[in-house]
Amino acid sequence: MRYIKLGTTGLDISPIAIGAMTFGIPERGHPVWSLGEEESRRLIRHALEAGINFFDTANIYSQGTSEEILGRALRDYADRDGIVLATKLRHPMKSGPNGAGLSRKSIMTELDHSLRRLGVDYIDLYQIHRGDPDTPITETLEALHDAVKAGKVRYLGASSMRAFEFAKALHLQRQHDWARFVSMQDHYNLLAREEEREMIPLCLDEGIGTLVWSPLARGRLARSWDRAKDSRRGQDDATFTDMLYTPTTEAADRMIVDAVGAIAEARSVSRAQIALAWLRSKPVVSAPIVGASSAEQIDQAVASLEIDLTSQEIAALEAPYTPRHDFQGISASRELAAIAAQIPGFTTADAVRQVGRRQV
């Protein structure tokens, strides 16, 4: 494994991160397709043996059991000093007041809960899980800065927001001499390239490393178009997946998937390896977050690091892309509903319910 720096920091990370949304007790909450502890531990150990040192989870995943399972496995199998442990907060962990969001109270409370569940005394990368339109951004940023200064957090990250919001946050952090965001976790893959318009140029200019969620487009880039929805996650999250990759772009998406297949066949590698190699060709991408549910998927992700696509192959993969609806940077329910209402087959209620339940 050849380790790289996260953005412009001095932090060494593997260029593949393991997404721990796959690990958890399904009965405790979304996702229903999580694996349970025994199988999760096997995959975590396999990833470590492959040289992967970067693991990303969130407090909301299986209502905290993802953090618990990941923490126990890393204590048993890994050297804490060599591991980069990332988690996130914002979404509801309980009903009632102060059960969600990015207020000072919520940040301090949820940080302590995550530390307890993970069984560690600090978190390497603490990320806000989208924005919180109901809390002043200065309150959020100062609380995050205080968490760093208290020694409970090493680095700060953000995820899925509008570029102007991220730019404002970075400006405020610089203005107040607060600890800055060093990473942006965003939705970026061959079927979702809207981030190239504003967010990616901003991150390149500011030296921010991006961590990509859904790098294989919910499995659509890992198999033929006719089998696009064969994955367990694709079936259980079908409505949310169809909102990410809508029928309005189906013709272009199919051509992209076919191009991935043609290059994979020509190189005698898997489709997933080609899709991940395309991401690695982008300087802004520090690591895709791979939600592996098998050792084979981890091996394919690691093998993708040996593939350098030619300029002709990259052009063939990118040429069919067409502009599409983009809601990933929106956190307010009303705005999400307005965007989703433009998508055939969705209602306002569908949009709010699905996006609210299926945050990544």
Could you tell me what percentage of the chain is helix, strand and coil, using 3-state DSSP and rounding each to the nearest 5?
Answer: 50, 15, 40
Contact status, residue 275 vs residue 258, Cβ threshold 8 Å: no
Contact status, residue 115 vs residue 108, Cβ threshold 8 Å: no
Active site residue 61: yes
Catalytic one among 3, 61, 77, 321? 61
DSSP 189: B
Tell me the one-letter amino acid at 282.
Answer: K
How far does Cα 70 stand from its chain's mean position?
Answer: 16
Contact status, residue 263 vs residue 311, Cβ threshold 8 Å: no
Please give the sequence-ordered ranges of beta strands (E in DSSP) within the chain, or none if there are none. Answer: 4-5, 12-13, 17-19, 54-56, 84-89, 123-128, 153-159, 181-187, 209-213, 285-290
Q: Is 42 exposed, middle or buried (0-12, 13-18, 19+ CB in 10 A)?
A: middle
How far does Cα 130 stand from its chain's mean position?
Answer: 11
**Cα distances (angstroms) measured from residue 313 to each of 50, 88, 196, 232, 269:** 28, 35, 19, 30, 14
Place of tokens 């730019």: 167
Among 258, 272, 256, 159, residue whose Cα is nearest residue 216: 272
Among 198, 111, 100, 116, residue whose Cα is nearest residue 156: 111
**Which residue numbers are catalytic?**
61
